[in-house]
Amino acid sequence: MKKIIYILIGLLVIALNKPLLAKTDLPGLVRSGQYSKGTLLSISQPDAIKQSLDAVYSVGTYPLYTPELVPGEGRDIIQGYCNLCHSVTYITMQPPLPAATWEDEVYKMINTYGALIPEDETRQVIAYLQAHYTPETRRQ
């Protein structure tokens, strides 16, 4: 008996709230549909665009985003070695990193990932990164 009363109270609460819920605004991404009377109960589509046989279609350049590295001594070396495995976007997409972190980063590429960079060029790579991509030196 008690259960039935609870169920009835529950149903009553739902019934009373329904008009209230219906009035509340729909949450952010949900939009109510717009139906014009003219198309009710019919499947009407706008006319297909007429295509001519001599039309020329083309696509623009594919939007690859690899920003230029800052010009400076060592840039060519960087582009030569680092591009072997990934684009230099990996450099520009980092936040400005402290000088020591760039050094660790380059040695990580060598010791962990197997980048083959001779020692003197490794020094130049690190010097370049430290000259342009640290919190103190980064301009772009």
Residues that bind ligand HEC (CB under 6 A): 78, 81-82, 84-86, 90-91, 94, 105-106, 108-109, 113-115, 125
Q: Quick one: 82 or 132, whose CB is closer to ligand HEC?
A: 82
Nearest-approach distance from CB 28 to ligand HEC, in angstroms: 34
The DSSP letter of residue 137 is T
**Cα torsion angle, 107, 113, 114, 118, sign:** negative
Q: Quick one: 11 or 93, whose CB is closer to ligand HEC?
A: 93
**Cα torsion angle, 19, 22, 23, 24, sign:** positive
Q: Quick one: 85 or 100, whose CB is closer to ligand HEC?
A: 85
